[in-house]
Amino acid sequence: MANLLLQDPFGVLKEYPEKLTHTLEVPVAAVCVKFSPRGDYLAVGCSNGAIIIYDMDSLKPIAMLGTHSGAHTRSVQSVCWSNDGRYLWSSGRDWYAKLWDMTQPTKCFQQYKFDGPLWSCHVVRWNVCIVTVVEEPTAYVLTLTDRQNAFHCFPLLEQDQDISGHGYTLVACPHPTIESIIITGTSKGWINAFQLDLESGFEDKIRCCYEEKIANANIKQIIISPSGTRIAINGSDRTIRQYQLIVEDNESEGGSSHSVSIELEHKYQDIINRLQWNTIFFSNHSGEYLVASAHGSSAHDLYLWETSSGSLVRVLEGADEELLDIDWNFYSMRIASNGFESGWVYMWSIVIPPKWSALAPDFEEVEENIDYQEKENEFDIMDDDNNLQAMTEAEEIAIDLCTPEKYDVRGNDISMPSFVIPIDYEGVIIQQHWAHQEQ
């Protein structure tokens, strides 16, 4: 990342990846993918219940969660990281939501069993997660209590709220900048926004601050841009709806409360092919771009729209199969997606060709080696007044080699801590055995 300053700025500062650069041949079919916050690792949830952690520098597996105890026994439906990258949440069809501590990836840190398979899990804090369960009318808040080191679970629902006509809650999404706000979507097209009291942790303080029916179809996914100003909703009616998300802070005697509203900006559809959309994801910062994977055996590409105008700006090609889940890491500027048939993970990134002239203004790039004859006095130092003055001024400049930079060249906060996961050698051997069997 430090060498990005030496590269061509027009190549480094591209706003989205353009080329398929890597393919991870996962030994068991990948169902979901998620980058760690700094992009150092990629968590891959598999169809057999395994969760494999890949190192993004070497593109090799370094750990498999639960090799000693606590692994999922059925397909992993979703995974999500805590902000510091130390903890990982996972949900599966085996009815369990699990919390993993990356200091000991071989065993499950804590788990909670629901009454049915889980759709998804989303981190609010490292010890607070929002879980959606198959055919349940509400989402659930799962918190890890500090004293007993056990889970406390309660429904995400305001007291006496009538949701009998809303259908099942399928998806949920925490607000990225206001962690007390949670937005959910239902099977009958309803959007609900709730405010939690995370400090007290009492379920009787949940307040519904917005509800509206936006479609007569299942809501398959909700995403919010990192700045919290845009929200996109993927429905089973083959339409992606993009809204401006407005959250107002209202001071009251009982404390701070929020009101939520949305205003429609764009609708994304493929009118000709009538494509369904599997997964959607915003780009970094204010969500200048929206990427989506298409459903269907003939749809092998990722579609990229500009959110300000709603126009299609790019189709990311390269995969030979339908793509499912999507994750976009802004530090490494990579997009990862898993294939439906092979279960492999495809990654698009920015390709920066080496440009040696960026190291110094007088460097010249050549196509082949050139024999150079050095002149006798070419590099002799001339003791004249101009050279001595230039050398003196250069020595007086203070160079700080100790204080780290707060932001990288792309504007990402690099002061955020990055947790280093220890290598699980037993898990690596198991994965190599699986890969050998596949061959």
Q: Give the start-end residues of each E strand in 214-300.
A: 219-224, 230-235, 240-252, 255-268, 276-282, 289-295
More confident residue, 388 or 421: 421
Domains in the chain, please, with CATH?
2-354+414-438 (2.130.10.10)
Edge-first strand order for the sheet with 151-155 is: 118-125, 128-133, 140-144, 151-155
Q: Is the pLDDT of residue 274 over 60?
A: yes
Strands 230-235 and 87-92: unpaired
Bridge partners, 144 (sequence order):
151
- Least confident range of 294-308, 331-345, 395-409: 395-409
Measured torsion, CA atoms of residues 273, 279, 283, 289, in degrees rounded to the nearest 10 = 20
User: What is residue 428's three-state secondary structure?
Assistant: helix
- Least confident range of 3-12, 250-259, 268-277, 315-324: 3-12
pLDDT of 402 reads 80
CB 105 within 8 A of CB 53: yes
Q: Look up the pTM and report it.
A: 0.86
pLDDT of 5 reads 57
Query: In 3D, which of 80, 203, 198 has the Cα closest to residue 139?
Result: 203
Q: Is the pLDDT of residue 48 over 60?
A: yes
Percent helix, strand and coil across the chain, each to the nearest 5: 10, 40, 50
d(CA 181, CA 172): 11
pLDDT of 76 reads 97
Q: Give the start-end residues of each E strand in 39-109.
A: 41-46, 51-55, 60-64, 76-81, 87-92, 96-101
> In whole numbers, what is the pLDDT of the chain averaged over residues?
87
CA count, 13 A, side-chain hemisphere, 12: 18
Model confidence over 202-261: pLDDT tens digits? 666 899 999 999 999 999 999 999 999 999 999 999 999 999 999 998 776 555 788 999
Percentage above 70 pLDDT, the chain: 87
Q: Longest Cα pair distance anywhere in the chain, in angstroms?
A: 92
**Mean pLDDT across the stretch 56-82?**
94
More confident residue, 310 or 374: 310
